[in-house]
Amino acid sequence: MRKMICFLMLLFFESSFLFSGEIYVTKIKKTPVENKNYSELATIVINNCIEIRDIKVIKNSGKVRLVFPTYVSKKDLEYSQVKLLTQQANSEVNRAIITAKPSNNQSETVIFGISKFALYKGDSALKVFAAVDFNDAVRVECKIMQSYRNPWVAWPAEKLKNGEWKEQIIISKKELCKKIEKTLLERYRNMIRTMEED
């Protein structure tokens, strides 16, 4: 009986930890910027797994505002590609960027869920607007694209003047990235299959 109670307590503890929703900034880098409406560009790594680049650090009257990478539509509407969903995530990211110091906690625990999956009906290689939530605390936008070949997942990136793309979000754990992309693409294929059957 005692062993069973200990096992249940351990299971509860592990579940609580995994689903706590907490995130930590395990790496931080800032670069000064001149002649812009922001003073620095920051790159952070969350839970040693999710790298977010090109965070604009805007300082005004002693206050600091962070602007995450944005997607600009054909109608010139801007959509943030990263959202902090909890107070803990917001506090942790702001603290790390302001102090330029990573968290004391170096947790690598990451769970994910798809929070948005919207079919794009225009005539384009773009097929789906999607979003992935990490630890129920950080939301990252992404897209499903398809041309003549198989569909693929496009993570936020900036198109440079030379035509090349600069990655702004990188999921550094390859197995996790593969699992996320497999989940997204399976959902897309099931959606297309259902539409064809109707």
Q: Give pLDDT, residue 44.
A: 98
Q: Decide if 88 contacts 22 (C-beta within 8 A).
A: yes
Tokens 């979003």 correspond to: 131
Question: Amino acid letter at 166?
Answer: K
Q: What is the pTM of this model?
A: 0.85
Q: What is the mean pLDDT of each run of 10 residues along the chain (198 residues)?
A: 39 37 92 89 96 95 92 86 96 96 87 96 91 97 90 94 94 96 97 86
Distance CA 162, CA 85 (A): 35
Residue type, 62: G
What per-residue confidence (pLDDT) applies to 14?
34
143, 151 contact by CB (below 8 A)? no
184 with 170: CB under 8 angstroms?
no
Q: Which of 132, 118, 100 is nearest to 32 (CA)?
A: 100
